[in-house]
Amino acid sequence: MSPSPIRVAVAVGCAAAILAAAVFGGHYLGLAAPASGSLYDTADRDAERIENPYGEASVWYDDYGVPHVEAENERALYFAVGYLQARDRLFQMDLQRRLIGGELSEAFGERAVSTDRFYRSMDFQSAAEASWAEIRETEAGPGVEAYSDGVNHYMTTQPLPPEFGLLEYEPDPWTPVDTLIVGKQIAWSLSGNFADLERATVRERLGEEAARELYPDRLPHDTPVIRDEADYEPFDPAVAAGVAEPSGGADTAESASLGGDPTSLANWVGRYDHQPGIGSNNWVVSGEHTASGKPILANDPHLQLTVPGVWYEMHLKTPNMETRGVSFPGVPFVVIGRTADVAWGVTNVGGDFTDLYRYETRNRSGTEQYRYRGEWRDVATEEETIRVADGEDVTVTVRKTVHGALIRRDGARVGVAWPGFSATNESLGVYQLNHAEDVDDARDALRTWDVPAQNFVVATRDGETLYYPAGRYPLRVADGEVVRGDRIFDGSAGEGEWRGYTPYGTSNWSGFVPFESIPHVEDPDLLATANQRTMDDPPYYVGNGMTYADPYRGERIYDVLERDAESGDGADGGGITAASTKTLQRDVRSLAAAEFVPYARAGRAGANDSGRALVTELDGWDGEMRADSRAALVYALWLEEFRTATFEDEFAAANLSADAYPKHVVLADLPADSRWFDRAGTARTETRADVAALALNRTAARLGRTDYETYGDYNRLRLTHPFDQAFLNYDTRPMNGSAFTVFNFRAQRATQAGSSWRMVVDFGNESNSAGVIPGGQSGLFWSEHYDDQLPLWADGEYKSLTMDRPDGEPDLVFVDGGGDSEARRGGTAGDDPGNGSSRVVAPVGVIVGIRGGVGA
């Protein structure tokens, strides 16, 4: 008997449904089907025994998933580090190298093509290759190679993070150049800067006087990093820059130009340079001012906040070294942290480390040429293909001149020089810091630091302290004299060149400031940096009002440190303690508010009823940017409106975006009757009070349109994974802090930024040393350590940062995999000083996630 038609229909329907599921959902079933889905491969990982070709190592994970690694030699150690970082952060590592290498489109599709175009145009890949060519010959080289081997061992033996399955690709093997390119990414994000292009645009649109007024050479404040005498060996910048030497055929190329309206170019590159508002704090206090009589060091670098976080904490130990702190995933060494005897922290030197050049150009038989010192040269070009997921491949032409990358957009073109285009040795610098036993070791490590220039503070167990803004500071020559770098130079005339700099090759840095001549402070009693001006009258040009940060954090830190040094809460009756240091890292008092709130009050008379009511809400406010504060909300919104109302008319008329508005301290310093307060299109002449009143009215209207009740409604933590899926994003929450408070968090841009790592090292009492990251150690959303530190971080709390490891059996064991004896010996200086190269090569990196989101 045949089945009834109904049953046949049921069978066919079921078969069709199954077929449709297999055809259209097969990939996702492979990902998510219970038990077999690759999504779950990383949900539960048993204890692993891993073969290590370089020797034995053991790993203990603590309560926050921080690996404590002990190895018999350094290569075995760094192999383990590579494996561990891949285990926790492999997708993030791959994303970072794709970002800076211009390969995001291959994973994310067409929306990332613009980002890839920029990074390909800059050819960071070649710069990283040049760096690796130098680093591999130093004592850090074997560690970088072993690290790469460890990453690759993980990739080939263990399940990949689920993100790869979701994007349907597998990562390429990790190479030492990838580690170096991660360093370039960090360095560029901190010191890449197109401010000169922005200033030139403003100068052209608003006039020379306006540019000088809004972008002063020196920001109006009295709290540089170095407030007293600096230590440095005097030198003659003119001699170092080679002023007296023949110019080699320099001429004046009157027709050298940008080739067109730079607006589009400026808007494009502006997305990828140093992000405004990104800054950091660090300070060091000697035993003179601490309750214990031993130094205390604090650091909290402010970077874009990402999921997972930009830092990875680890504690590394061999018979010859021990270090603990944070690194960027992809970098084997501790970038910020401590050894048993030395601690160091960094902030960015807000200097000018990027120069731009215009050229006289022509086209000869299809070849693009530029005039250089009296002769025509071909622009070096190379065609590269950007592979695009689910789209057509895109071809990009990489152009270079003698100065570095030549980037173009809509007819405008500019040559870019940046020290990081050269081979640099940051990796060696941090490697050496990881081995430091005293302040001399630390100083020697900083001597090898190239890019980005960083404000290093150092403290030692023996009581020594040091401040050194280490890095490569270029000297520029134009018209026979050393000049500032805040202009677009005539590249055809050879103007503003950096002597001893070879982009995408090896530099000898002869035209840069000698290390000993960089103003620093030996054994400071109390010194703080917050990206403000390094010193008032440096012996050479370092930066300008566009590159340095507003002074508010720096001023507040010095105020509190001096107060605590006098009266502190130390048990001995005074002095700074780890507790008072942590309290300062939690400080949310805004000195910007102290400066601007009186201006808001001055607007009361001219405001409407709603605006006047807001002024009343500011009465009695202590200037603390707390999530539960109504006054902080009113102030924050008012300040935005005040700044906009001040500049919007002139800037919009000149087709300049709000990104070009000057620093807040410049706004605060404008006279009450400044022309910038006069509103375009009105008969009367407005003053600061009038604009303040307008801003009050706008603020009142804005509050009426939103559901903001307190500052935390506005200043809300929203950290999103690159996929921006609810299960991958961190929980949102109201936050204390602002861009101008020591406790640093700002939510007001497309990408959120703030303290990416808080660290306190107390050599007076080890148990007080502490740190915390905004998120968790693991990038795997299954992990209990995906975001377990986020509440601590948001509340200003810490976890331990001592040199102790967990007791008991190790969680992971790396067994001797039988590598050849030479590999096991290592070759790193820490294991065999005789093998270590004495070459002094270049420096580090600091990583940031995908700026502005993928394809932003």
Partner 1 sequence: MSADAVDRPGVAGRLDRFRESHYAAVALVAVTLLGFVAVAVHWAGFLAVGALLGLLSATLSRAAVHGLTFGGLVLLGFGGWLALSGALATWTSLGLLFGLSAGAALGLPTLAAVGVRALR
- CA gap 3, 6 in Å, rounded: 8
**C-beta of 172 vs 731, nearer to partner 1:** 731
SS (H, E, C) 601-632: HHCHHHCCHHHHHHHHHHCCCCCECCCCCHHH
Cβ pair 64, 776 in contact under 8 A: yes
| β 48-52/812-816 pair status | parallel
**C-beta of 552 vs 781, nearer to partner 1:** 781
* Cis amide linkage into residue 452, ω under 30° from 0: yes
Provide the residue type at 624 as one letter.
Answer: E
What Rg do the C-alpha atoms of the chain give, in angstroms?
A: 28
Nearest approach, Cβ of residue 476 and partner 1 (Å)? 54
Nearest approach, Cβ of residue 722 and partner 1 (Å)? 16
**C-beta of 12 vs 653, nearer to partner 1:** 12
Nearest approach, Cβ of residue 729 and partner 1 (Å)? 11
Burial class (CB in 10 A: 0-12, 13-18, 19+), 733: middle
- CA gap 601, 692 in Å, rounded: 8
Nearest approach, Cβ of residue 782 and partner 1 (Å)? 4
Q: Where are the alpha helices (DSSP H) in 774-837?
A: 790-794, 821-825
DSSP state, residue 550? P
Cβ pair 509, 449 in contact under 8 A: no
> What token pair was written down for 290?
């601490």
**C-beta of 727 vs 838, nearer to partner 1:** 727
**C-beta of 41 vs 569, nearer to partner 1:** 41
**C-beta of 32 vs 840, nearer to partner 1:** 32
Backbone φ and ψ for 435, nearest 5 degrees, come out as: -110, 5
**C-beta of 726 vs 750, nearer to partner 1:** 726
Nearest approach, Cβ of residue 160 and partner 1 (Å)? 16
CA neighbor of 711 nearest in space, from 729, 733, 743, 731: 733
- CA gap 406, 119 in Å, rounded: 12
The total number of residues shown for the chain amounts to 856
Burial class (CB in 10 A: 0-12, 13-18, 19+), 356: buried
Nearest approach, Cβ of residue 44 and partner 1 (Å)? 4
CA neighbor of 350 nearest in space, from 138, 56, 546: 546
**C-beta of 646 vs 777, nearer to partner 1:** 777
What is the residue whose two structure tokens read 């005039």?
371
**C-beta of 25 vs 248, nearer to partner 1:** 25
DSSP letter string, 694-741: HHHHHHHHHHHHS---SHHHHSEE----TT--TTTSPPPEE---BTTS
Contacts of 316 (CB under 8 A, 6+ apart): 69, 71, 77, 81, 322, 323, 324, 334, 434
Nearest approach, Cβ of residue 48 and partner 1 (Å)? 15
**C-beta of 12 vs 680, nearer to partner 1:** 12
Nearest approach, Cβ of residue 8 and partner 1 (Å)? 7
Nearest approach, Cβ of residue 723 and partner 1 (Å)? 11
**C-beta of 23 vs 35, nearer to partner 1:** 35
Nearest approach, Cβ of residue 171 and partner 1 (Å)? 21
Residues lying near partner 1 in the complex (CB under 8 A) are found at 1, 3, 7-8, 10-11, 13-15, 17-18, 21-22, 25, 28-37, 39-40, 43-44, 725-727, 781-782, 784
**C-beta of 14 vs 653, nearer to partner 1:** 14
| β 799-800/770-772 pair status | antiparallel
- CA gap 729, 423 in Å, rounded: 37
Nearest approach, Cβ of residue 9 and partner 1 (Å)? 8
Nearest approach, Cβ of residue 97 and partner 1 (Å)? 27
Nearest approach, Cβ of residue 93 and partner 1 (Å)? 22
- CA gap 789, 757 in Å, rounded: 11
- CA gap 844, 135 in Å, rounded: 11
Q: What is the largest CA-CA distance in the chain?
A: 107
**C-beta of 651 vs 786, nearer to partner 1:** 786
